[in-house]
């Protein structure tokens, strides 16, 4: 087992990614929105994994910052989808809460690597 697979934040990001994938399969968003949301959600998980392969704290932190940025990107896309009535408020809140948790976990890891 690789180190990143043991991380709770990685497991949660993988679950989030699977849920976004299911949402995209069940909805008919435009091609750009589908692509961007899929890539941003995937980026969270992949950058967490890549961060664990780096030797320096600075390099690990860099990939976690990118992962956190991708979480913010997902929030922005989902907020937009809710505002244009492509998803309902309950769906938005559900995903928002998952992203908030991921963001907090990533922030904590980034902060520890900054010390």
Task: Give the tens place of pLDDT for each residue, 29-88.
Answer: 999 999 999 999 999 999 999 999 999 999 999 999 999 999 999 999 999 999 999 999
Q: What is the pTM of this model?
A: 0.95
Which of residues 21 and 28 earns the better pLDDT score? Answer: 21
CATH number at residue 52: 1.20.1440.60
Between CA 115 and CA 113 the distance in angstroms is 6
Between CA 18 and CA 16 the distance in angstroms is 5
Domain region containing 77: 3-114
Instruction: Report the number of distinct structural domains present in the chain.
Output: 1
Contact (Cβ atoms closer than 8 angstroms) between residue 77 and residue 37: yes
Label residues 57-74 b or e (16+ Cβ within 10 Å = b).
Answer: eeebbbbbbbbbbbbebb
Between CA 111 and CA 93 the distance in angstroms is 26
Instruction: Check pLDDT > 90 for residue 115.
Output: no
């Amino acid at each position: 087992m690789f180190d990143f697979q043991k991380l709770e934040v990685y497991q949660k990001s993988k679950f989030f990614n699977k849920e976004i994938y299911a949402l995209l399969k069940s909805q008919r968003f435009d091609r750009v929105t589908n692509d961007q949301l899929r890539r941003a959600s995937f980026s969270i998980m992949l950058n967490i994994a890549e961060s664990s392969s780096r030797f320096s704290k600075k390099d690990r932190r860099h990939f976690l910052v990118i992962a956190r940025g991708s979480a913010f990107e997902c929030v922005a896309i989902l907020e937009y989808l809710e505002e244009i009535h492509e998803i309902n408020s309950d769906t938005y809140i559900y995903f928002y809460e998952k992203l908030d948790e991921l963001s907090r976990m990533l922030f904590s890891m980034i902060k520890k690597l900054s010390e």
